[in-house]
Amino acid sequence: MNRAARKDPGRFVTFEGGEGSGKSTQIKLLAEHLRKADYDVLETREPGGSPNAEAIRQFLLSGMAEGKGPRAEAMLFTAARMDHVEQTIRPALESGTWVLCDRFMDSTRVYQGMDLDTETVDLLEKIAVDKTRPDLTILLDLPARLGLQRALSRDPDGIKDRFEKEDEAVHEARRQAFLQLAAADPKRFAVIDASKPAHIVDSMVWKACRRRFGIRTPMGV
């Protein structure tokens, strides 16, 4: 029996973590597990995930928005997220599709929220997200030094985007901010040790997802 026949609801799973934590890899692996379990799956990312949001992504990651200050940068992320939610995420969930997203609202709290007051971040989140919030957030945690080494190894030419170019102390502070968010909301977050080999991380992510949603696979594993 396929997913549509079961009339299962769509689920929203976000992946968070620092640079080089393996979010893209783990999203693809989780999508494979879910499809084998007969679920419809949409893989997406932020900033991006819809045509307008992808255009904003190019502007943000190029570093052109950096000089405009953290408030303006956060507003651009909010505009991208609003379009992403309205055009991609919400329709998919309403159709019963599982949405796996590389970064979402928690990244704004960590990356831009470090330079903004909580009230501003709360307001921007409400504008962009409203009630479309993750059912589960996978936090792929690893030391900033290791993450930056991995990120650099992906591009041997050493070309870094707006965020990869920042120093290790900034990245480690963001790591701690992610962990604080997870500690404050343990029902939504699953913290995974991303320093392990990819296949072990994959196993832990799949276990966390099955446990959270009560997924039963055909093999009973």
Predicted confidence (pLDDT) per residue in 154-197, tens digit: 765 555 554 556 788 999 999 999 999 999 999 999 999 999 99
Q: Given this model, what pLDDT does residue 60 score?
A: 87
Packing angle between helix 198-213 and helix 23-36, nearest 10 degrees? 50
Query: What's the predicted TM-score (pTM) here?
Result: 0.89
Q: Given this model, what pLDDT does residue 65 score?
A: 72
What's the CA gap between 34 and 10, in Å, rounded? 12
> Which tops the pLDDT comparison, 59 or 86?
86
Average pLDDT of the residues of the chain: 90
Set out the domains of the chain in order of their start, with CATH numbers.
9-213 (3.40.50.300)
Predicted confidence (pLDDT) per residue in 110-154, tens digit: 988 888 999 999 999 999 999 999 999 999 999 999 998 888 787
Share of the chain above pLDDT 90, in %: 73
**SS3 of 154, please?**
helix
Q: Given this model, what pLDDT does residue 162 score?
A: 46
Q: Given this model, what pLDDT does residue 192 score?
A: 98
Beta strands in the chain (DSSP E): 12-17, 41-45, 98-102, 136-141, 189-193
86 pLDDT above the threshold of 90 = yes
Cβ-proximal residues to 164 (8 Å cutoff; 6+ apart), any chain: 19, 148, 151, 152
Q: Given this model, what pLDDT does residue 20 score?
A: 92
- Reading the block at residue 163, the tokens are 């965020």
- Reading the block at residue 109, the tokens are 């709290």
Closest CA to 73 of 89, 57, 97: 57
